[in-house]
Amino acid sequence: MEEFNTYAYFWVGEFDCDPSEITDLLKIQPSRVVLKGEQLNVATHTVRKKSFWEFRSSLPTTEMFQDAHLENLLSMLAPLKNEIAQLQLKYETGISCVGYYTNVNPGFHLSAELIKSCASLNLCIDFDLYNYSGNTNGA
């Protein structure tokens, strides 16, 4: 059985403002916000070193192909080009594509149009892809 969990998200990092300012500027609700100083680990007293604002693709995590998540996300971000440029004057921005795959490696294709869309928004893209074997007999 092929199993996967994939998603992509636009992020804003290294900000020191209230995250609602980013939300208000972009006029989209974040999927997740974490703030500098939030506790990560109670036992070690580790705290988050950076703030992070995240907006995910609207596709389900059962969509296996990263380019589909990326296209979906870019279609929502393209109308926000000016707002994203404003954020980039002060903060870090980018897109992260994440995939957890079991017994499958679908790869991904980035069309010239998709690359142009990313470039037009001046966004870096990071791919974190993980492949696991579903073999449970230790082989």
**Residue carrying the six token digits 């470039």:** 119
Q: What is the pLDDT of residue 10?
A: 98
pLDDT higher than threshold 60 for residue 136: no
Q: How far apart are CA 120 and CA 74, in angstroms?
A: 10
Measured CA to CA, the distance from residue 75 to residue 117 in angstroms comes to 9
DSSP code per residue over 42-63: TTTTEE-SS-EEEEE-SS-TT-
| Residue range 47-56: mean pLDDT, rounded | 92
pLDDT at 21 over 80: yes
Mean pLDDT of the chain: 90
pLDDT tens per residue, range 73-129: 999 999 999 999 999 999 999 999 999 988 877 778 899 999 999 999 999 999 998
Confidence (pLDDT) at 135: 61
Angle at 52 between CA 30 and CA 23, to 5 degrees: 35
pLDDT at 43: 85
**For range 13-25, the mean pLDDT:** 95
> What pLDDT is attached to residue 139?
46
Report the largest interatomic distance among the alpha carbons of the chain, rounded to a whole angstrom: 53
- 139 near 109, Cβ under 8 Å? no
